Structure 1
């Protein structure tokens, strides 16, 4: 998928219209600029000639009026083109970004999890910006260059066929030079883009593990990794700039050759083949064309960036959006709010050589307790049930009969909620964190969720700090559980929710969750020392041991 095709398919009718209008305005404006330069040169030379000849019959009114009209037309067209192209750029970027964000909701959960280092966010920001830049930085300039070059060559051919042929050859050589330079710089640009992506991913990972890196005295190695990536990116960018400067120099030399060829051919022979005024006008007209051609390397460079960005966005852009799925597409789960059954069929559980397979039907309102010591595979099982990890056996985890690995993240989010051992908390207040899952919830609803998680003693405006650092471990755990309760999922998966809590608080929290979600299926992973804290009977118990086969107790 080319950058232009991606932009065109994502843009709405208005953005497409603005894109075409901007191209027409840009081409006409550059044509007026070239005509202004050529007519002005011819006019001034003619005035000098008639003055020397004392020709009083020559009229200067029509040429001066033409110069004025071209000047006004160039200014007005360029201003209009800027307005329209900027509007097209904004509209195309908004349309493309909104389409890709909606398409991201169709990404399977396990794939979406692989982009937590910022790769997906980079695509939706820098790559969309590069692809959307086609509307203002590539299409209008290319239209201006193409239209002006075609008209100039046509006029020269009519006036002097040898001059037209010479300029066509030199312009073709200039275009080939620009294209060759652009191809050579694209490798440097790709290297720079990969290096910047590596630096960004390393920084994001280091930020999330900052305190661990400090404890391990590993901040300096990470800093060196980031500095190395930034250095590679800057060296690649410098190499690309050097290549661009060389191509511009060569284009200027070709421009001088083109203007010289026109002048020599126009004035060659025993007598002037053309009047001096016409020759000067042709030279200046050619100069205007080459002035535009000198911008071609930068335009092609922007196009190359847009093409690379479009290539990275192709997979995401080709995904069917919600509401666009055909009958051949994978089936989706039932609408949100419906009772859903989660079926596990021969799912591998346990660790090492003692792994076994577990099958169960987790009905709405049931409770499944998964217990065992650390390292026995409790978190792995919950992530498999949530679609975070691709099951070893295809179609071994089904939600309403649909394999979880084929469901988009949005469909899974409507049905399943997994509260991990260390879930993410924004640097905001309790209320703002809770409203991430229920944006329209009022304060009473938020307080009810906090009460269900045994966290009602904290006010809603309590700051959480970076990654929840202003809260204790137990408070952070209960906050993300309250946030999950607000989603009212059909299946709630809790990974060691009692960690950091005393027995009394843990029992209150589990009781509150069950009371708040009476119709939801609960899958709760508890360490074996806490399995007696469950205040209600479990429908099924799965006991995992790292040194023996997993035992299932009904």
Structure 2
């Protein structure tokens, strides 16, 4: 796999220009063989008919050999075109997805969070599918049509100079004029169609994800109505697209009939006047027929090009957004251990109030710090700053005395084990989920962390480390899924553990038991935990409360839930 040297979308295609040129050349050869075959066969049949009864001097073998050779060449070039075209397309599809994820992942979660899940899925599936098919549906056919048109016009000019203008006008009308007429406002309509596809996908996805809540609120019928409305709008857009294509087909047919009639009149007149042989006159008509058939596909190719360009703009609208954090030009090596220190940290979301207003916090190696506070008070924002998902507006976040902005993000993240509030359990086995925390972890380490979080018996009873957990942990209870996600974080060999609501979904006794198990499993690692829930009084953790953008010490033995 060749590296993409540039970050532009065009670079994805440029890497495979050799394969695309080979596929376009094979497609041109297929068109050329088919056109020449029809022209030669038409001239041969005409000459044979005129020579009936006077076979003397008639060359039967050369044209028949030519017909067989062109038929074989068409089969071989067709096979080569399919092979080269699909090879180029599949490679482009692979690299296009890698390009999108490479550009989009640094935007998560801050920038991508503004997109609804269904809309993002639409861009990943529909838009990328439109763009990676640009070559076989648009660029390759249009290039081959241009090539066969130029060759056909040159050949017609050789046979009869008056034939070339007819083919040239037909080529311009069918290959450019009619598509341009049909494509008026086409970019706007294609963009709207792509948006309607995304809206329908979003509506369906959110309805499936929230089916239980919709049923509980008695809103299923209303949501189904929204899906029907979105599907109806997409169907109307599709009908408008088909009407435009049908109008283009009609105009193509009219142009084709006019060109064929003009060429027939010219060829018969030239043959009658003795300017060209009757066989050449027949060949002109049949070549014109073949070229018109090729050019009739120009409308679909131009529409595919419009659709692909609209999808490319939608993809660029995602990946061209400025990342909230960037790596320094010369990253500094991340110390293996150290103290996490927030000094005078101020943060506010765009257009919002200050969520954090002068935070000072130091977590020494091996120290445990738990932070409570009301919802919306900035606890998750504080963990996002520690992870360097955001940079502070003022102040600094440091590790071992070095500002996090001097580290490469990937290197810093390797030093942190992270459990978000809505941690995902991925479809697959227990082993596969745990190895996302540490790909090198052995079975003994996996069983130790499962035992520490009271999951060992459940996993052994269900079939061991290779037992399936289902999509989103569907085969586990909510508490078990939460513990498995925490086990994945604990398995990660990182000196700092950052947890956001690790006891979410657990009752008070289970939450207390989990936190006590967590304390024993932490070893010498540092902990930054944010939670609404009460902490067991026996935990020797430093306790703080985030209120009005500042941290305040908690002197009570436990942290009270909000309210």
What TM-score do the two structures reach when normalised by structure 2? Answer: 0.83
Partner of 2:3: none
- Where 1:425 maps in the other structure, the secondary structure is coil
By how many angstroms is 1:249 displaced? 1.5
Distance in 2 between residues matched to 1:261 and 1:179, nearest whole Å: 23
By how many angstroms is 1:38 displaced? 1.0
Partner of 2:283: 281
- Where 1:542 maps in the other structure, the secondary structure is strand
Distance in 1 between residues matched to 2:337 and 2:354, nearest whole Å: 39
By how many angstroms is 1:230 displaced? 1.8
Distance in 1 between residues matched to 2:499 and 2:545, nearest whole Å: 16
By how many angstroms is 1:447 displaced? 1.8
Contact 1:434 1:482 in 2 (8 A): yes
Partner of 1:378: 379
Q: Give the 3 Å change call, closer, same or farther, for CA 366–375 of structure 1 in structure 2.
A: same
Distance in 2 between residues matched to 1:542 and 1:277, nearest whole Å: 96
Contact 2:345 2:392 in 1 (8 A): no
Partner of 1:323: none
Q: Give the 3 Å change call, closer, same or farther, for CA 348–16 of structure 1 in structure 2.
A: closer
Q: Which moved more, 1:458-467 or 1:287-296?
A: 458-467
Q: Give the 3 Å change call, closer, same or farther, for CA 315–377 of structure 1 in structure 2.
A: closer
Q: Deviations over 1:399-424 (max 9, x none)?
A: 651349x976x556434444233333
Partner of 1:450: 450
Please tell me whether residue 522 in structure 1 is matched to residue 527 in structure 2.
Answer: yes
Please tell me whether residue 535 in structure 1 is matched to residue 539 in structure 2.
Answer: yes
Q: Give the 3 Å change call, closer, same or farther, for CA 114–364 of structure 1 in structure 2.
A: farther
Partner of 1:27: 28
Contact 1:92 1:132 in 2 (8 A): yes
Contact 1:354 1:550 in 2 (8 A): no
By how many angstroms is 1:289 displaced? 1.0
Q: Give the 3 Å change call, closer, same or farther, for CA 337–190 of structure 1 in structure 2.
A: farther
Partner of 1:308: 310
By how many angstroms is 1:51 displaced? 1.9
Contact 1:506 1:533 in 2 (8 A): no
Q: Which moved more, 1:93-102 or 1:266-275?
A: 266-275
Distance in 2 between residues matched to 1:433 and 1:27, nearest whole Å: 50
Please tell me whether residue 78 in structure 1 is matched to residue 78 in structure 2.
Answer: yes
By how many angstroms is 1:358 displaced? 1.5
- Where 1:237 maps in the other structure, the secondary structure is helix
Distance in 2 between residues matched to 1:374 and 1:319, nearest whole Å: 29
Distance in 2 between residues matched to 1:44 and 1:238, nearest whole Å: 44
Q: Which moved more, 1:269-278 or 1:77-86?
A: 269-278
Partner of 2:141: 141
Q: Deviations over 1:341-384 (max 9, x none)?
A: 353533359x9999743122334433222123555443443345
Q: Which of residues 400, 403, 427 in structure 2 aligns to 1:401?
A: 403
Distance in 1 between residues matched to 2:124 and 2:229, nearest whole Å: 25
Contact 2:344 2:394 in 1 (8 A): no
- Where 2:82 maps in the other structure, the secondary structure is helix
Distance in 2 between residues matched to 1:90 and 1:20, nearest whole Å: 15
Q: Give the 3 Å change call, closer, same or farther, for CA 123–339 of structure 1 in structure 2.
A: farther
Q: Deviations over 1:413-454 (max 9, x none)?
A: 434444233333345554443334334534322222222334
Partner of 2:162: 162
Please tell me whether residue 492 in structure 1 is matched to residue 497 in structure 2.
Answer: yes
Q: Deviations over 1:257-306 (max 9, x none)?
A: 11221222233388354333222210111111111110011112222222
By how many angstroms is 1:33 displaced? 0.9
Please tell me whether residue 346 in structure 1 is matched to residue 337 in structure 2.
Answer: no
What TM-score do the two structures reach when normalised by structure 1? Answer: 0.84
1:178-197 correspondence to structure 2 within 5 Å: 178-197=179-198
Q: Deviations over 1:29-78 (max 9, x none)?
A: 211111111111111111111226x3522222222222221111111111
By how many angstroms is 1:216 displaced? 1.8
By how many angstroms is 1:83 displaced? 1.4
1:357-506 correspondence to structure 2 within 5 Å: 357-373=358-374, 376-387=377-388, 390=390, 393=393, 396-397=396-397, 400-403=402-405, 410=410, 413-426=413-426, 428-460=428-460, 461=462, 464=469, 467-468=472-473, 470-501=475-506, 505-506=510-511
By how many angstroms is 1:340 displaced? 6.9
- Where 2:256 maps in the other structure, the secondary structure is helix
Partner of 1:9: 11
Partner of 1:102: 102
- Where 2:371 maps in the other structure, the secondary structure is strand
Contact 2:334 2:412 in 1 (8 A): no
Structure 1 gap ranges (5+): 321-325
Distance in 1 between residues matched to 2:67 and 2:394, nearest whole Å: 74
Higher relative contact order (CA 8 A, sep 6+): 1
Contact 2:191 2:311 in 1 (8 A): no
Partner of 1:171: 171
Distance in 1 between residues matched to 2:484 and 2:537, nearest whole Å: 20
Q: Give the 3 Å change call, closer, same or farther, for CA 137–253 of structure 1 in structure 2.
A: same
Structure 2 gap ranges (5+): 1-6, 556-563
By how many angstroms is 1:513 displaced? 2.9
Q: Give the 3 Å change call, closer, same or farther, for CA 252–498 of structure 1 in structure 2.
A: closer
Q: Deviations over 1:327-347 (max 9, x none)?
A: x95565746966573535333
Distance in 1 between residues matched to 2:34 and 2:485, nearest whole Å: 63
Q: Deviations over 1:162-217 (max 9, x none)?
A: 22123212321222212332354443332221112122223333333332222222
Contact 2:495 2:525 in 1 (8 A): yes
Q: Which moved more, 1:457-466 or 1:332-341?
A: 332-341
Distance in 1 between residues matched to 2:171 and 2:481, nearest whole Å: 67
Aligned residues: 536
Distance in 1 between residues matched to 2:494 and 2:335, nearest whole Å: 9
Q: Give the 3 Å change call, closer, same or farther, for CA 517–185 of structure 1 in structure 2.
A: same
Partner of 2:301: 299
